[in-house]
Amino acid sequence: MKIKKIISSTPLYVVFLALYPVLAYLAWNIREVDTRLLYRPLLISLLFSGIILGLMQRAIKDWQKAGLFTALIQFIFFTYGHIKNGLDSLPWPAAKSVWHIVLVLLSAGLLIGIGRVIKRARRPALATQILNAVGLVLLIGPLSTLLTRPAVQPRAAPENTAPIAESGTYPDIYYIILDGYSRQDTLQSLGYDNSAFRDELEQMGFYIATCSRSNYRNTLLSLSSSLNMNYIWRAVPNQGVADKNLQPVYASLLDNRVRRELKERGYTVIAFETGFEWDEWRDADLYLKMHDNPFTAPWLQPFEYGLMQTTALNPLLESGLLAKERFIAHYRRVLFTFEQLPLLTSVPGPKFVFAHIIVPHAPFMFLPDGSINPDTRYYISPAGVGNTRELEIQGYLNNIQFVDAQFPAVLKAILANSAQPPVIIVQGDHGLVAEAQKYNILNAYYLPGGGEQVLYPTITPVNTFRVILNQYLGGNYDLLRDASIDADRGNPFWKKNVRPYPANCP
């Protein structure tokens, strides 16, 4: 009875309200981030709330009223950014510059007005009991999402697997995705000529499919399709075109047909951290990442930055403060992958290396020489400025030029240091420009021993590993029709074709 009384009269809701914003934001972004990223913001939120509670108690000498004051401050602090983002969505562009002033005045009014009510409250114990119950109920939603998160279930091996070659040494296979790298004609329409990059690849022996397109216009569907060697509606269990369940699509990206078949042939699977949990092969034989413990990582994580944007720290972030720190992990991750790829030649083969590198895709942090762009407008939208189309294109081309200048050296090192000629695929998963041009991609192949003879200008990623398994591992796969599909995360199983653009590829 005494314990029950202590619980009902203690402002436990201060703890609940400190936990809720972090857990709710993680639950909302559960597919994008490593769940271990919540520990640091959780600790900071608890410390912040604890300090406020201690200061309030010292000021008014009443734990229950101190708890009510703390809850009010927590409410204002953790909802500020959400309210600001909601106001920004209203059709009044001119008002965006004054919303912060409005919210600061409103917050001050709430603190003063409700603060007076709390100070005069005669039954703070009742309010404490109610808020304890409300705080506990609030936690049910995000906790249920996090605790019932479906695990990726391995799928049974497909019936028509490629036969295992009888003899010979399998080549190492590098599947390198340069996220968002567009085709040469699309880049030319943006005012950039990447012929020097393409010439350098061809001099190394790469075949460039000059009219290649992606099968899908976003990363999840594009990679799930290419790594399962089929279109999504055939590669992933579904209930028809109206099915919107993405869970099996995510599962098919992590546990995919190519990976399974190569593993059956004795390949060592090597993968890299990407910053997006849904496409990180953490169970690979060798998984490479910059920092093992996100709690002690010496940089601000994008999850932490995004959480801060929903709080009263929003005005500081919108001004550009900490913009560079938000993406510094991304910047270092790209360079880390570039540095590590050539070193993998020392790993005994055969090996399958999957490197999904988030460049030239946004954030557009790179200058052509590889340094960080000091103009944060290229990777954040400051209040009243916005990320204009001109900034987006220039930032994208800066990233492209960085790749064009730095990446050939990576490929040369892999070729020079490999014990036997490897297979290398360098591919965009989609392009930049909207509509039909978004499917136009870079698609380059290094296929030793005359393997390029089976390639053709319009090959798409769905046939990439059909060609490779046929050519080097004794496969007997028919090539599929090369098509681009009008499907997205909202409608992953749609089958509608998108016409090539331009109709006659140069």
> How many Å apart are CA 230 and CA 479, to the nearest integer?
10
pTM: predicted TM-score of the whole model, two decimal places: 0.82
- For the four alpha carbons of 324, 328, 330 and 334, in that order, the dihedral sign comes to positive
Q: What's the pLDDT at 5?
A: 60
> How many Å apart are CA 502 and CA 212, to the nearest integer?
12
Amino acid at 264: E
* Cβ atoms of 451 and 472 closer than 8 Å: yes
Q: Render 437-494 in DSSP notation, one character per residue.
A: GGGBB-EEEE-TTTGGGG--TT--GGGHHHHHHHHHS---PPPPPP-EE--BTTBTT-
Q: What's the pLDDT at 347?
A: 94
Q: What's the pLDDT at 155?
A: 40
Buried b (16+ CB within 10 A) or exposed e, 437-468: bbbbbbbbbbbbeebbebbeeebbbbbbbbbb
Phi, psi of 450 (to 5 degrees): 80, 15
Residues 6+ apart with CB under 8 A from 204: 408, 411, 412, 415, 446
The SS3 of residue 152 is coil
Q: What's the pLDDT at 3?
A: 57
Buried b (16+ CB within 10 A) or exposed e, 5-14: eeeebbbbbb
Which residue in 84, 100, 70, 40 sits closest to 310, CA to CA?
A: 84
> How many Å apart are CA 341 and CA 349, to the nearest integer?
14
Strands (E), 113-183: 173-178
Walking along the chain (506 residues) 10 residues at a time, the average pLDDT comes out as 62 92 87 77 93 90 88 92 83 68 87 85 84 90 80 41 52 97 94 97 97 95 97 94 93 95 95 90 93 73 84 79 80 96 94 97 93 84 54 93 98 96 97 81 96 94 97 94 93 91 73
Q: Render 262-273 in DSSP notation, one character per residue.
A: HHHTTPEEEEE-
Q: What's the pLDDT at 9?
A: 72
Q: What's the pLDDT at 386?
A: 47
Residues 6+ apart with CB under 8 A from 346: 417
Q: What's the pLDDT at 411?
A: 98
Residues 6+ apart with CB under 8 A from 179: 219, 356, 357, 358, 359, 360, 361, 428, 429
